[in-house]
């Protein structure tokens, strides 16, 4: 007998920036929309289970988190391969485990929701007669370029990549050459290019696409995705803006940073962080240290610098508190004692951004960080590093006008201390001005979208209705494509250990 509640299986790809929004989507589906939820997490190693996020205290009972045993892909991936290539391979290697885990479930789940690195798993959903959804943990604009990607011909690619002309995306803002995706430049790995086109096709052919944005943030791009004259021609799936789904502020945990923030004046501190994996070069780290020292009160999440790889810490986010960092200018801690706090490796970002003393965020523009800034009404200094972060930076600075941007691209050279101090000053000293007012407006509209009856709430209700219909049709005899559950694949190891890791949160 099929469970009367729809059961959504989510698949999260490696990286906190993918796990966190999947968890939030799962919580919303379970808490407000009547779903049972299982989230399968693919990770580089098992250390993610030690993160407090893996056992969220307020997670409803209807949500299970399962770590799929990490697969060693080092023999399959070249050590210089991009983050995207490594992610795709890790996800591919996890597919047999996901298939076996679904197959061993007592009742058939209703829907599979994957992020953009998990689209190959949609074939498993078809096999099990489940609805197929993709959850885009970025903007509708990024979704637009992704679904348009398979249709970019050689001439358009040449004009954009070589002649540096903007890339046209039907019905949407075009993408300037300096804001484009890394993969236009990485000509050493054409697999990356064709792999991205494959992902674009798979997304378009899903039953639905959930996007971590909201209607009033990107109205014209969302219209273009549905309009037959523009991208609606290629996107078969319905598009559901469901955001902003961000990690809520936890119970006030006492920490040195929070205690320090309590003592600072309202909106006087800039928070500086480059996400879960963002990394600066040694020279840039030093320059940033001097730039912050010259400017405002700050909280800075610092990672050891790595030259030549802006995403070097992507698969390595464990906390490390050993030793004073030798990569900061000597005497830095002493000189900043009264105006700054340095946090090594990882901070409680949502709690920090929600603190009344925070007045600005210098960010790498990962989409989760961006949303967290917006829902707290905090204007930004944008410092994009990799992936689609340049596009996010352009949208924030030029379209939404809630951020300032460096004159040069962070990856194209070193941003000097005077410019850093100048950008920080512009954001922090503009209290009550246009930029701050605009981001507070976004904060209000984000809040409304998520409330019962709001646009994002209603989007998830529509997904829920489709899934309920699917549950009913599966309960009717002769109404589904497969009469028997498929046989699990022959695996080297039993699936039971996988499921032994199942955590009932
Ligand atoms: N994060 C955090 N503490 C840190 C760094 C990051 O809590 O020190 C969280 C942050 O709040 C966000 C996520 O990790 O939810 C990072 O996602 P984002 O999309 O901003 O960037 P990515 O890490 O994927 O590049």
pLDDT tens column, 380-429: 999 999 889 999 999 999 999 999 999 887 777 899 999 999 999 999 98
What's the 450 CA to ligand 1 centre distance in angstroms? 21
CB burial of residue 35 (10 Å; 0-12, 13-18, 19+): buried
Do 178 and 263 reside in the same domain of the chain?
no
Do 237 and 260 reside in the same domain of the chain?
no
What's the 385 CA to ligand 1 centre distance in angstroms? 13
- Which pTM value belongs to this model? 0.91
Phi/psi at 47 (5° precision): -65, -20
**447, 465, 488: which is the final residue of a domain?**
447
| Nearest residue to 278 via CA among 322, 234, 231, 311 | 311
Measured CA to CA, the distance from residue 403 to residue 127 in angstroms comes to: 46
Do 62 and 18 reside in the same domain of the chain?
yes
**Residue 115 catalytic?**
yes
How many residues can be counted in the chain?
505
Measured CA to CA, the distance from residue 304 to residue 10 in angstroms comes to: 33
Residue 156 predicted with pLDDT over 80: yes
Least confident range from 148-152, 185-189, 402-406: namely: 185-189
183 domain residue, yes or no:
yes
Is the separation of the CB atoms in 101 and 10 below 8 Å? no
Largest CA distance in the chain: 74
State the total domains in the chain. Answer: 2
1 domain residue, yes or no:
no
Is the separation of the CB atoms in 150 and 197 below 8 Å? yes
Q: Give the confidence band of 439 by pLDDT, cuts at 50, 70, 90.
A: very high
89 domain residue, yes or no:
yes
Measured CA to CA, the distance from residue 282 to residue 176 in angstroms comes to: 29
Do 387 and 437 reside in the same domain of the chain?
yes
Do 97 and 218 reside in the same domain of the chain?
yes
Q: Which atom of ligand 1 is nearest to the CA of 369?
A: 20
Do 487 and 428 reside in the same domain of the chain?
no
- The terminus-to-terminus CA distance of the chain in angstroms comes to 25
Is the separation of the CB atoms in 210 and 243 below 8 Å? no
Q: State the catalytic residue, choosing from 7, 18, 33, 364.
A: 18
Tens of pLDDT, residues 135-145: 999 999 999 99
Q: Give the confidence band of 72 by pLDDT, cuts at 50, 70, 90.
A: confident
Measured CA to CA, the distance from residue 499 to residue 493 in angstroms comes to: 12
Query: What sign does the CA torsion over 196, 220, 398, 280 have?
Result: negative
Q: Which residue among 14, 15, 16 has the greatest number of ligand 1 atoms within 8 angstroms of its CB, and so is best to mutate? A: 16
pLDDT of 50:
80
Enumerate residues lining ligand 1, CB below 6 A. Answer: 15-17, 20, 247, 273, 275-278, 301, 346-347, 349-350, 366-369, 372
The closest residue, in CA terms, to atom 13 on ligand 1 is 17
Instruction: Convert 219-263 into a string of H (helix), E (strand) and C (coil).
Output: HHHHHHHHCCCCHHHCCCCEEEECCCCCCCCCCCCCCHHHHHHHC
Do 378 and 326 reside in the same domain of the chain?
yes
pLDDT of 321:
43
Q: State the catalytic residue, choosing from 36, 115, 207, 466.
A: 115
**CA-angle at 55, arms to 53 and 59, nearest 5°:** 95
Do 295 and 408 reside in the same domain of the chain?
yes
What's the 256 CA to ligand 1 centre distance in angstroms? 20
pLDDT of 326:
84
**428, 447, 466: which is the final residue of a domain?**
447
2 domain residue, yes or no:
no
Q: Which residue among 17, 361, 384 has the greatest number of ligand 1 atoms within 8 angstroms of its CB, and so is best to mutate? A: 17
Do 284 and 396 reside in the same domain of the chain?
yes
Is the separation of the CB atoms in 6 and 34 below 8 Å? yes
What's the 364 CA to ligand 1 centre distance in angstroms? 10
Q: Which residue among 22, 48, 368 has the greatest number of ligand 1 atoms within 8 angstroms of its CB, and so is best to mutate? A: 368
193 domain residue, yes or no:
yes
Q: Which atom of ligand 1 is nearest to the CA of 15?
A: 24
Measured CA to CA, the distance from residue 360 to residue 349 in angstroms comes to: 13
160 domain residue, yes or no:
yes
Q: Which atom of ligand 1 is nearest to the CA of 387?
A: 25
Do 393 and 275 reside in the same domain of the chain?
yes
pLDDT of 57:
52
The closest residue, in CA terms, to atom 23 on ligand 1 is 276
**DSSP 8-state assignment for residue 53:** G
Tens of pLDDT, residues 331-355: 898 899 889 999 988 999 999 999 9
86 domain residue, yes or no:
yes
Is the separation of the CB atoms in 196 and 387 below 8 Å? no
Can you give the residue range of the structural domain that contains 270?
A: 256-447
**406, 432, 447: which is the final residue of a domain?**
447
What's the 146 CA to ligand 1 centre distance in angstroms? 22
What's the 106 CA to ligand 1 centre distance in angstroms? 35
In three-state secondary structure terms, 496 is helix
Least confident range from 289-303, 304-318, 394-408: namely: 304-318
Is the separation of the CB atoms in 365 and 396 below 8 Å? yes
Per DSSP, the residues of 301-352 read: EE----TT-TTTTTT-------S--TTSPTTHHHHTTTTEEEEES---HHHH
Do 275 and 365 reside in the same domain of the chain?
yes
Q: Which residue among 355, 365, 369, 382 has the greatest number of ligand 1 atoms within 8 angstroms of its CB, and so is best to mutate? A: 369
The closest residue, in CA terms, to atom 18 on ligand 1 is 366
Q: Which atom of ligand 1 is nearest to the CA of 386?
A: 25
Q: Which atom of ligand 1 is nearest to the CA of 365?
A: 20
**Residue 153 catalytic?**
no
Strands 7-12 and 36-41: parallel
Do 379 and 236 reside in the same domain of the chain?
no
242 domain residue, yes or no:
yes
Q: Which CATH number goes with the domain that contains 375?
A: 3.40.50.2000
């Amino acid at each position: 007998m099929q469970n009367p509640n729809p059961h959504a299986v989510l698949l999260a790809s490696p990286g906190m920036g993918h796990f966190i929004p999947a968890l939030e989507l799962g919580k919303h589906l379970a808490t407000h929309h009547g779903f049972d939820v299982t989230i399968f997490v693919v990770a580089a190693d098992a250390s993610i289970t030690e993160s407090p996020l893996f056992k969220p205290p307020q997670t409803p009972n209807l949500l299970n988190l399962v770590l799929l045993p990490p697969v060693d892909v080092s023999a399959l991936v070249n050590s210089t391969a991009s983050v995207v290539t490594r992610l795709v391979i890790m996800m591919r290697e996890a597919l047999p485990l996901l298939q076996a885990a679904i197959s061993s479930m007592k009742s058939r789940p209703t829907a599979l929701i994957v992020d953009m690195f998990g689209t190959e798993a949609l074939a498993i959903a078809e096999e099990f007669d489940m609805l197929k959804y993709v959850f885009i943990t970025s903007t509708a604009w990024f979704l637009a370029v992704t679904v348009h990607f398979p249709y970019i011909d050689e001439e358009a690619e040449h004009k954009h990549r070589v002649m540096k002309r903007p890339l046209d995306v039907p019905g949407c803002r075009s993408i300037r050459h300096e804001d484009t995706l890394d993969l236009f430049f990485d000509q050493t790995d054409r697999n990356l290019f064709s792999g991205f086109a494959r992902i674009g096709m798979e997304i378009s052919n899903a039953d639905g696409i959930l996007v971590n944005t909201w209607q009033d943030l990107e109205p014209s791009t969302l219209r273009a995705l549905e309009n037959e004259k523009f991208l609606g021609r290629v996107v078969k799936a319905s598009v559901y803006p469901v955001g902003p789904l961000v990690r809520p502020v936890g119970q006030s945990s006492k920490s040195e940073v929070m205690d320090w923030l309590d003592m600072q004046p309202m909106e006087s501190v800039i928070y500086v962080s480059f996400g879960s994996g963002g990394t600066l070069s040694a020279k840039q780290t030093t320059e940033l240290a001097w730039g912050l020292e010259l400017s405002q009160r700050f909280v800075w999440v610092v990672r050891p610098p790595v030259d030549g790889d802006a995403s070097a810490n992507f698969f390595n986010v464990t906390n490390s508190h050993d030793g004073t960092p030798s990569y900061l200018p000597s005497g830095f801690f002493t000189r900043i004692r009264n105006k700054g706090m340095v946090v090594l490796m990882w901070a409680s970002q949502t709690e920090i951004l929600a603190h009344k003393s925070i007045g600005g965020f210098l960010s790498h523009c990962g989409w989760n960080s961006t949303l967290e800034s917006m829902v707290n009404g905090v204007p930004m200094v944008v410092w994009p590093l990799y992936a689609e972060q340049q596009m996010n930076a352009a949208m924030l600075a030029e379209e939404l006008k809630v951020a300032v941007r460096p004159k040069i691209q962070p990856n194209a050279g070193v941003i000097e201390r005077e410019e850093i101090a100048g950008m920080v000053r512009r954001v922090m000293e503009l209290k009550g001005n246009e930029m701050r007012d605009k981001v507070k407006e976004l904060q209000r509209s984000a809040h409304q979208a998520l409330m019962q009856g709001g646009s994002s709430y209603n989007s998830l209700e529509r997904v829920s209705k489709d899934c309920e219909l699917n549950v009913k049709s599966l309960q009717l005899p002769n109404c589904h494509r497969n009469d028997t559950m498929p046989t699990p694949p022959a695996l080297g190891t039993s699936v039971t250990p996988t499921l032994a890791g199942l955590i009932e949160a």
